[in-house]
């Protein structure tokens, strides 16, 4: 082990949580890739709001409450998880870790007893990911223009025993990611003269990237003949159907008999519609602030959405969830489970499966510690009275 590697190893042992994982990823990833993951749309007001929302509620701790036997496990859409902190769908994970990508994520999620929601834009296919893990997998879809493509993908998800379908509705157009424009980021990344210098400072990532055959959209290889470039053009053209209305949710409901989740809900109005059209869960998300800037922080809209949905559906939430404490707070405000995107990408970049397992363990231990500190030993007993 070189001196440099030994120092990195020491640093990984002292990981305290998300901030360290992000800092480690920043060191390892080329600037354009780091910014692609870290950044958001426009002035990144919503990225900030997602985090700021967690600073508002206050816990109301009860002490001397016998918290010796604690339980962080719960049930999400009928499935038992060790903790309600799931991996949100994020495409092209081999950008974070060119070899491990979604395979490492699936293995780490299974080891942590939680669910990995695979993006349809994953860099390994639905089947390749299933082959390395017998853990719980969900599949996220966009509303493609072609019904046949969607139906075929759903068939493949069923065959590979993915247990829930997540329909993302917040991409009628791709958000304006100013950092990507500034950095000249194209997907998949091309090493150009002006990025070469930066890339040379990240030799490990570049070597690993050049060895990986393709980072392109693995699930679409079967439907789009040709090279990665033509897959990218296809995605640009067909990614989302701008004419789509809620009727498409009803159509999906017919095709898929497992749990159906609608992702990208930010209002009580859309939450009610999602349930009316057959969703089993409403997934509150602003795409991590990557779509419409100045949309609300997700935790800020959780109470009104929880009230609108009542017991008709479960509620999932992502956007700025970084610690176990955040999960307990979201549960107190009515969410069944939280998901996170950037954390698992950065953990993979920091150190593959091992680093992600370590991060997930930090989150689980923080949920456990928070339960002791608020005086509610079982996560399932956390409710509005846990907050002031």
Ligand X SMILES: Cc1cc2nc3c(=O)[nH]c(=O)nc-3n(C[C@H](O)[C@H](O)[C@H](O)COP(=O)(O)O)c2cc1C
Binding residue count for ligand X, defined by CB under 6 A: 23
Pattern of binders to ligand X over 208-247, x per CB under 6 A?
----------------------------------------
Quick one: angle between helices 247-255 and 147-159, nearest 10?
40
Look at phi and psi of residue 315 and say left if phi exceeds 0, alpha if psi is from -120 to 50, else beta: beta
Distance CA 199, CA 191 (A): 8
How far, in Å, CA of 267 to CA of 261, rounded? 15
In the list 72, 119, 125, 295, the residue contacting ligand X (rule: CB under 6 A) is 119
Using the minimum distance from each CB to ligand X, give the nearer residue, 272 or 342. 342
Q: Residue 308 CB, nearest distance to ligand X (Å)?
A: 21
* Least distance to ligand X, CB of residue 220, Å: 12
89-97, 123-131, 197-205, 364-372 -> range binding ligand X (CB under 6 A)? 89-97
129 is an interface residue for ligand X by CB under 6 A: no
Site for ligand X in 344-383 (CB under 6 A): 345
237 CB contacts (<8 Å, ≥6 apart)?
Answer: none
199 vs 296: CA distance, rounded Å: 36
* CB < 8 Å & 24+ apart, contacts of 185-191: 185/32, 185/33, 185/35, 185/36, 187/36, 187/92, 187/232, 188/92, 188/95, 188/214, 188/215, 188/216, 188/228, 188/232, 189/30, 189/32, 189/33, 189/95, 189/215
Of 116 and 277, CB closest to ligand X: 116
94 binds ligand X (CB under 6 A): no
How many residues are there in the chain? 388
Q: Does residue 263 touch ligand X according to CB under 6 A?
A: yes
- Is the CB of 174 or the CB of 372 nearer to ligand X? 174
CB nearer to ligand X: pick between 50 and 125: 50
CB of 103 to ligand X, least distance (A): 17
Of 149, 202, 196, 191, which is closest to residue 25 (Cα–Cα)?
202
Lookup result for tokens 């949905």: 309
Rounded Cα distance between 137 and 115, Å, is 6
Binding piece for ligand X, criterion CB under 6 A, among 1-9, 25-33, 181-189, 319-327: 319-327
Contact between 318 and ligand X by CB under 6 A: the answer reads yes
Contact 15, 358 (CB under 8 A): yes
Q: Is 91 in the site for ligand X (CB under 6 A)?
A: yes
Catalytic residue positions, numbered: 287
Q: Check residue 287 for interaction with ligand X (CB under 6 A).
A: yes
> With CB under 6 A as the contact rule, which of the stretches 84-92, 126-134, 182-190, 375-383 interacts with ligand X?
84-92
- Minimal distance in Å, beta carbon 315 to ligand X? 15
Of 15, 24, 33, 37, the one binding ligand X by CB under 6 A: 37
Place of tokens 């998800």: 157
Judged by the rule CB under 6 A, the positions of this chain that interact with ligand X are 37, 50, 88-91, 119, 121, 140, 168, 263, 285, 287-288, 290, 318-321, 340-342, 345
């Amino acid at each position: 082990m070189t001196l440099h590697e030994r120092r990195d190893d020491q640093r990984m042992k002292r990981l305290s949580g998300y901030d360290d994982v992000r800092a480690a990823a920043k060191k390892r990833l080329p600037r354009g890739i780091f910014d692609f993951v870290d950044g958001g749309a426009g002035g990144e007001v919503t990225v900030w709001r997602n985090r700021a929302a967690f600073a508002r509620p206050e816990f109301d701790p009860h002490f001397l409450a016998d918290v010796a036997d604690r339980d962080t496990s719960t049930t999400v859409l009928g499935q038992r998880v060790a903790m309600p902190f799931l991996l949100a769908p994020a495409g092209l994970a081999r950008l974070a870790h060119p070899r491990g990508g979604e395979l490492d994520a699936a293995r780490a999620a299974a080891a942590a007893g939680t669910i990995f929601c695979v993006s349809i834009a994953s860099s390994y296919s639905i089947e390749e990911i299933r082959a390395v893990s017998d853990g719980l997998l969900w599949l996220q879809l966009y509303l493609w223009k072609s019904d046949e493509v969607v139906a075929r993908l759903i068939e493949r998800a069923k065959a590979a025993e993915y247990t829930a379908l997540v329909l993302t509705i917040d991409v009628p157009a791709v958000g304006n990611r100013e950092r990507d424009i500034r950095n000249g980021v194209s997907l998949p990344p091309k090493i150009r003269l002006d990025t070469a210098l930066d890339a040379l400072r990240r030799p490990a990532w570049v070597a690993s990237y050049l060895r990986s055959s393709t980072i392109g959209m693995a699930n679409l290889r079967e439907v789009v003949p040709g090279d990665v470039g033509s897959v990218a053009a296809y995605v640009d053209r067909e990614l989302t159907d701008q004419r789509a209305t809620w009727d498409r949710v009803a159509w999906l409901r017919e095709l898929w008999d497992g749990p159906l989740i609608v992702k990208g809900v930010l209002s009580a109005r859309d939450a009610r519609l999602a349930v009316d059209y057959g969703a089993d869960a409403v997934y509150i998300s602003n795409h991590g602030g990557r779509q419409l800037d100045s949309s609300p922080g997700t935790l800020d809209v959780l109470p009104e959405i929880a009230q609108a949905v009542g017991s008709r559906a479960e509620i999932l939430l992502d956007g700025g969830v970084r610690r176990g404490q955040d999960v307990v707070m979201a549960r107190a405000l009515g969410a069944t489970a939280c998901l996170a995107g950037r954390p698992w990408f950065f953990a993979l970049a920091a150190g593959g499966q091992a680093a992600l397992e370590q991060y997930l363990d930090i989150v689980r231990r923080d949920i456990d510690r928070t339960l002791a500190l608020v005086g509610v030993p079982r996560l399932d007993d956390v409710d509005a009275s846990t907050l002031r």
